[in-house]
């Protein structure tokens, strides 16, 4: 016979009670003995028979018994141990009973099986299949509360335990008549008759209280196991033992406890004996310790005496050592001083040599500049004495008379001049592209000239905010809120907390519990029962039918509001939500803004957003209340999470379609389309925001319900999806969403920095993006960007059609955005920059100015003279005027005429810069150049942060490859590169422009010149390796204020050649990273003589982390002091 091992999963009667306890024997044997009264002469199925003991018990009175269990070993054991003619065992599953046919058994017994499987319904369907129509189903399962919850115990073999309500609900789905019993082992005293027999019995229930045992109610007994007798036919309960007792006359349980108590007493005696022994040992040890302490004290006295002697000797020794060390230090000091003097002499000699070379270079540069100055002066005199000059001056005089500044004529004149300059500087192709863009922009401006952005209405105080009207107050008592509830007690309580707090007492609140299995839901609802009316469905009917029940309960109301349990509402929410219906009876439904409400979502349209910035609902709603538009907007459908419904329309259109949409999703869209077809409107409002924890109302069912119900909605209303798509394209709430988002971000506790900049891109935009990354968690950066193409300002993404050039408008902008600091990053291209800086200057806000170029010195912001070289700022006013009017190397003419008076220009900028909180320079070199014009005490030098680039690995191919990085216009030295490539055509040298130029925007290759076209920055090291670049040339002919490309070349480990001016030369010389040449001839000679095999100087960039760079700005530029 196969013996089974005790694992705790199956009961084995052969295991000793001393090993597993007598209780489990009592429980299992009692259940089967109790069952024998139902199986006499019956055909019985024992489902989950386990070891087979129970099948054997009932086979003694049954006609035939079949035991089934899923475990093969258990079946083999049972078949070999329990042998009777009417008893058979078979392996199989309770959810797939391995017997063909139907209505086979009179009784099906199933003890302690339900908790081991999850497919309860499937098992019961199988039981119903094999059970005769008048048959009996006897089933038991643990009481989850008593078995698991109260002792905080989890049986590892149990899959799904049940509470009594769940057990009862499960059986009622399959049987008409059910009789429930409880089973538990309680200590008891029995009194029985020794002489007569009687069926009558009595039971007394007691429990121990503070003052001893007291009698208590019978109902206080709580089952450990539920037993149910189920049938489709009623049973004669008088023939059933309503109480059953199992008596162990061997008193095994008590004997087990007695044996256990005896073993504990024996163990206690042993422990006490051992404790006495240890106490004796401890006393002996203490005596030994006292003796040792006395000896220790004597030794300590002797040690102290010897320590005193040692201290005397050590003091003497230390004195001698100090004396020796002092002499050694004096010797080392003298040696160090001697070495320092020698090094100082060597440095001075080297510095003297360098200064001699620099002096020679400066003298040569002075000579050439003097020659240029004389030549230019002669040219100027020649020009001034020429007929052409006089004609030009007369022309300008004529233009000033017939087209004064600020007139429409002058704007058209400047536009024509700008077009001619683009044509002359960049060619016909570029001119045509700019012309097409101008036509497109002008057309759009004309089209949009009559409308302004919603934010501008707020800025001008023209927006219409919601006001509470008396008619709305009167309707509150005619309004009801319907709250369907199912499970999720924590979410329900959060909703009710805000609902009760923020809803007028005149509004009726009805909560309908859709038969939640989670009993905590009832507790939560009762907690708020003083304010809300509570209803409960007898069975789970689904969301749509629960809402329809709410409609029935509120027939006396004129407005009903459906509110999901996963929402959170702000103050005055009902008053705001019902306003459109009160004002317009043709409105069928109203939906507010929310974080997750598809077409009403904020901040991202048609998305399930998290709560914006983690803020609370009332805070976000405050901005929608203050800045939302009081006019409702017609929407194609309401969103059912929070939806006000006009009762008169509901009565006409009908309730939600529960037959089609079942448990939910799509029902409100269908209702809105039905209302629309009858001539009613659905409205969306922007002056109310309700939080929605989307999807928690349905949980995992969401995707399936949504997918199926959308198909049904398409069949009923094919036009619905086109209407929604059209609404999404128009997105009428975008301006309000952008406005509220901007205003919330400006009021969340961060200091706000208004970044005044332009749309030209380049290094100044890269810089400000790095600044946002470094300090975005501490400062809120708001872009005020001028776009010269559309001639408009943009506040982040908001287009300001009216502009901000009026002082009152600009101050209102600073006020509404709670601006702490104005950061003037770049204003090149604005038609009236002096007005902009004056607005900032008189705004009473601290401001910072960043020197990305020299626009504050001259409209020609690169300071490149007509000779194609840095002007040096040592020129007469006449020269400057001539330069601004006839300079072919400067880009300023694209944006500005020559009408600026340079004296007024610089005086305006001087006043602006002196009043700034800080003036930022990105190199000492640029600071020194600015100080030639302005003496500033508020200047700070902080070099740019540059994202690290990997080193480039370049091989020696026998050809010198000169790389030029970036977008190379004329100020960046495009003319220098072209000239070098032409003059060095016959040398083993090639020039690779990694980027684009002023004239070539696509890939180009001819002779020894290659232009790669545009690239991504992270590709740069790879491109350098691909073209095997040996040295990088930065050909800028103006003193750059920083030069990203110089730093990037150094990061890649490449030597750099620059002209000896500006930040580019400063960094190359400081880092010993290449060569700084004084003029074109020296540059040409250097490149012609460099061989790719020669080791040239390579430096290391002084890299700084983004965090460290941000900390510098935080402690200086943006400090609150």
Task: Please write the tens of the pLDDT for every residue from 414-435.
Answer: 667 667 656 665 566 666 666 6
Q: Greater confidence, 958 or 859?
A: 859
Could you check whether 20-188+223-239 and 748-941 share the same CATH topology? yes
| Nearest Cα to Cα of residue 1057 among 969, 970, 988, 960 | 960
275 contact partners, CB below 8 Å, separation of at least 6: none
Q: Give me the pLDDT at residue 21, please.
A: 81
- Which bin fits 2, alpha (ψ -120 to 50), beta or left (φ > 0)? beta
Q: How many CB atoms lie within 10 A of CB 776?
A: 13
913/488 Cα distance (integer angstroms): 61
> Per DSSP, what are the bridge partners of residue 213?
208
**Taking the mean position of all CA atoms in its chain, how far away is CA 624?**
22
- Mean pLDDT, rounded, for 756-778: 93
48-57, 354-363, 421-430, 662-671: the lowest-pLDDT one: 421-430
347-361, 374-388, 622-636, 1018-1032: the lowest-pLDDT one: 374-388
| Nearest Cα to Cα of residue 134 among 39, 240, 233 | 233
> Could you tell me the pLDDT band of residue 700, with boundaries at 50, 70 and 90?
low
- Mean pLDDT, rounded, for 627-653: 96
Q: Greater confidence, 868 or 991?
A: 991
Q: Give me the pLDDT at residue 1097, please.
A: 44
Buried b (16+ CB within 10 A) or exposed e, 208-241: eeeeeeeeeeeeeeebbbbbbbbbbeeeeeeeee
Give the 3-state secondary structure of residue 1005. strand
In contact, 836 and 860? CB cutoff 8 Å = no
356-365, 509-518, 695-704, 879-888: the lowest-pLDDT one: 695-704
pTM exceeds 0.85: no
> Per DSSP, what are the bridge partners of residue 136?
107, 231
Q: Give me the pLDDT at residue 62, please.
A: 96
Q: Give me the pLDDT at residue 416, please.
A: 74
Domain topology for 748-941? Rossmann fold (3.40.50)
Q: Give me the pLDDT at residue 526, please.
A: 95
**Helix (H) / strand (E) containing 755:** strand 751-758
Q: Could you tell me the residue ranges of all domains in the chain?
A: 20-188+223-239, 252-385, 391-450, 470-740, 748-941, 960-1103
Q: Give me the pLDDT at residue 406, please.
A: 47
The second-level CATH assignment, the architecture, of 470-740 is: Alpha-Beta Complex (3.90)
857/905 Cα distance (integer angstroms): 8
Task: Please write the tens of the pLDDT for every residue from 495-518.
Answer: 999 999 999 999 999 999 999 999
Q: Give me the pLDDT at residue 301, please.
A: 85
Q: Give me the pLDDT at residue 826, please.
A: 95
Q: Does domain 960-1103 have CATH number 3.30.1640.10?
A: no
Please give the span between the terminal C-alpha atoms of the chain, in angstroms, as a whole number. Answer: 92
Residue 300: pLDDT above 60? yes
Q: Give me the pLDDT at residue 143, please.
A: 95
215/209 Cα distance (integer angstroms): 10
- Mean pLDDT, rounded, for 511-526: 95
- The per-residue pLDDT of the chain, averaged, comes to 87
Domain topology for 20-188+223-239? Rossmann fold (3.40.50)
> Could you tell me the pLDDT band of residue 97, with boundaries at 50, 70 and 90?
very high
Q: Are strands 1009-1011 and 1004-1006 parallel, antiparallel or unpaired?
A: antiparallel
68-72, 143-147, 243-247, 939-943: the lowest-pLDDT one: 243-247
């Amino acid at each position: 016979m196969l013996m089974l091992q005790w694992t705790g999963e199956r009961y084995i009667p052969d295991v000793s009670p001393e090993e597993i306890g007598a209780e489990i024997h009592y429980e299992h044997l009692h259940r089967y003995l109790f069952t024998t009264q139902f199986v006499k002469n019956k055909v019985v199925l024992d489902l989950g028979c386990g070891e087979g003991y129970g099948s054997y018990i009932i086979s003694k009175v049954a006609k035939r018994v079949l035991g089934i269990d899923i475990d093969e070993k258990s079946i083999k054991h049972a078949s070999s141990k329990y042998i009777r003619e009417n008893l058979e065992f078979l392996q199989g599953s309770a959810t797939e009973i391995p017997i063909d046919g139907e209505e086979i058994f009179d009784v099906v017994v199933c003890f302690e099986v339900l908790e081991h499987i999850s497919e309860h319904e499937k098992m019961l369907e199988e039981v119903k299949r094999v059970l005769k129509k008048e048959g009996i189903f006897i089933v038991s399962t643990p009481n989850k509360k008593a078995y698991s919850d109260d002792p905080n115990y989890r049986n590892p073999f149990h899959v799904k335990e049940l509470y009594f309500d769940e057990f009862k609900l499960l059986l009622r789905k399959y049987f008409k008549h059910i009789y429930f019993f409880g089973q538990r082992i309680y200590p008891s005293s029995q009194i029985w008759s020794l002489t007569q027999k009687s069926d009558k019995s009595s039971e007394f229930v007691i429990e121990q209280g503070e003052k001893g045992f007291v009698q208590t109610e019978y109902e206080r007994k709580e089952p450990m196991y539920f037993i149910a007798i189920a049938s489709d036919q009623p049973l004669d309960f008088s023939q059933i033992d309503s109480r059953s007792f199992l008596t162990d006359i061997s008193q095994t349980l008590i004997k087990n406890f007695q044996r256990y108590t005896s073993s504990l007493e024996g163990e206690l005696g042993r422990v006490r004996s051992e404790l006495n022994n240890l106490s004796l040992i401890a006393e002996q040890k203490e005596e030994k310790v006292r003796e040792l302490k006395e000896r220790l004290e004597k030794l300590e006295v002797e040690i102290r005496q010897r320590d005193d002697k040692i201290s005397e000797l050590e003091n003497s020794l230390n004195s001698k050592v100090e004396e020796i060390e002092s002499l050694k230090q004096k010797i080392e000091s003298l040696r160090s001083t001697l070495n320092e003097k020698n090094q100082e002499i060597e440095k001075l000699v080297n510095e003297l040599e360098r200064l001699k070379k620099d002096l020679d270079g400066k003298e040569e540069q002075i000579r050439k500049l003097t020659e240029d100055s004389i030549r230019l002066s002669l040219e100027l005199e020649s020009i001034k004495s020429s007929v052409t000059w006089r004609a030009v001056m007369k022309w300008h005089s004529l233009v000033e008379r017939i087209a004064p500044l600020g007139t429409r004529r002058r704007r058209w004149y400047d536009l024509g001049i700008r077009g001619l300059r683009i044509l002359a500087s960049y060619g016909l192709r570029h001119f045509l592209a700019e012309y097409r863009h101008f036509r497109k922009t002008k057309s759009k401006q004309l089209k949009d000239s009559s409308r302004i952005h919603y934010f501008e209405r707020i800025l001008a105080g023209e927006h219409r905010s919601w006001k509470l009207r008396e008619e709305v107050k009167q309707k509150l008592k005619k309004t009801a809120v319907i709250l369907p509830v199912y499970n999720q007690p924590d979410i329900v309580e959060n909703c009710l907390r805000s609902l009760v707090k923020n809803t007028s007492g005149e509004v009726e609140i009805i909560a309908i519990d859709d038969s939640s299995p989670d009993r905590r839901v009832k507790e939560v609802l009762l907690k708020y029962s003083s304010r809300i009316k509570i209803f409960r469905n007898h069975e789970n009917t689904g969301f749509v039918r629960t809402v329809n029940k709410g409609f029935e309960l509120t027939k006396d109301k004129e407005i009903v509001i459906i509110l999901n349990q996963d929402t959170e509402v702000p103050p005055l929410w009902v008053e705001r939500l019902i306003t459109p219906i009160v004002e317009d009876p043709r409105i069928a439904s109203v939906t507010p803004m929310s974080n997750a409400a598809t077409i009403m979502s904020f901040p991202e349209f048609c998305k399930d957003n998290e709560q914006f910035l983690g803020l609370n609902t009332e805070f976000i709603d405050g901005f929608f209340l203050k800045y939302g538009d009081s006019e409702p907007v017609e929407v194609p459908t309401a969103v059912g999470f929070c939806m006000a419904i006009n009762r008169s329309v509901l009565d006409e259109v009908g309730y939600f379609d529960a037959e089609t949409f079942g448990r939910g999703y799509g029902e409100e869209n269908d209702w809105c389309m039905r209302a629309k077809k009858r001539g009613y409107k659905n409205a969306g409002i922007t002056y109310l925001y309700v939080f929605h924890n989307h999807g928690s109302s349905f949980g995992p069912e969401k995707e399936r319900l949504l997918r199926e119900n959308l198909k049904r909605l398409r069949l009923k209303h094919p036009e619905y999806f086109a209407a929604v798509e059209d609404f999404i394209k128009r997105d009428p709430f975008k301006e309000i969403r952008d406005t509220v988002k901007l205003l919330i971000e400006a009021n969340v506790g961060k200091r706000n920095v208004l970044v005044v900049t332009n749309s030209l891109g380049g290094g100044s935009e890269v810089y400000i993006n790095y600044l946002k990354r470094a300090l975005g968690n501490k400062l809120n950066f708001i872009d005020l960007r001028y776009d010269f193409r559309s001639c408009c300002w943009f506040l982040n993404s908001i287009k300001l059609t009216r502009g901000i050039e009026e002082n009152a408008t600009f101050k209102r902008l600073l006020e509404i955005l709670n601006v702490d600091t104005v950061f003037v990053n770049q204003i090149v291209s604005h038609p009236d920059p002096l007005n902009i800086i004056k607005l900032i200057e008189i705004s009473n806000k601290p401001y910072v100015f960043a020197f990305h170029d020299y626009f504050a010195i001259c409209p020609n912001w690169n300071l490149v003279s007509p000779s194609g070289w840095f002007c040096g700022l040592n020129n007469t006013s006449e020269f400057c005027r001539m330069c601004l009017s006839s300079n072919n190397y400067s880009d300023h003419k694209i944006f500005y005429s020559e009408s600026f008076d340079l004296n007024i220009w610089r005086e305006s900028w001087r006043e602006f810069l002196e009043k700034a909180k800080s003036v930022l320079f990105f190199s000492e070199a640029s600071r020194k150049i600015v100080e030639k014009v302005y003496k500033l005490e508020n200047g700070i030098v902080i070099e740019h942060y540059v994202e690290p680039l990997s080193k480039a690995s370049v091989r020696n191919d026998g050809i010198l490859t000169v790389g030029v990085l970036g977008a190379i216009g004329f100020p960046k030295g495009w003319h220098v590169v072209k000239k070098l490539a032409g003059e060095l055509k016959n040398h083993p040298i090639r020039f690779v422009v990694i980027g684009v130029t002023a004239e070539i925007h696509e890939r180009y290759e001819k002779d020894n010149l290659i232009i790669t076209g545009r690239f991504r920055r992270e590709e740069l090291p790879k491109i350098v390796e691909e073209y095997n670049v040996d040295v990088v040339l930065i050909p800028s002919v103006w003193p750059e204020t920083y030069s990203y490309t110089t730093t990037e070349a150094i990061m890649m480990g490449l030597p750099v050649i620059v002209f000896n001016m500006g930040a580019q030369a400063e960094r190359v010389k400081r880092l010993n990273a290449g060569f700084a040449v004084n003029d074109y001839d020296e540059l040409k000679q250097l490149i012609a003589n460099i061989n790719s095999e020669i080791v040239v100087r390579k430096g290391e960039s002084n890299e700084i982390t983004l965090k460290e760079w941000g900390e510098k700005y935080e402690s200086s530029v943006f400090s609150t002091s």
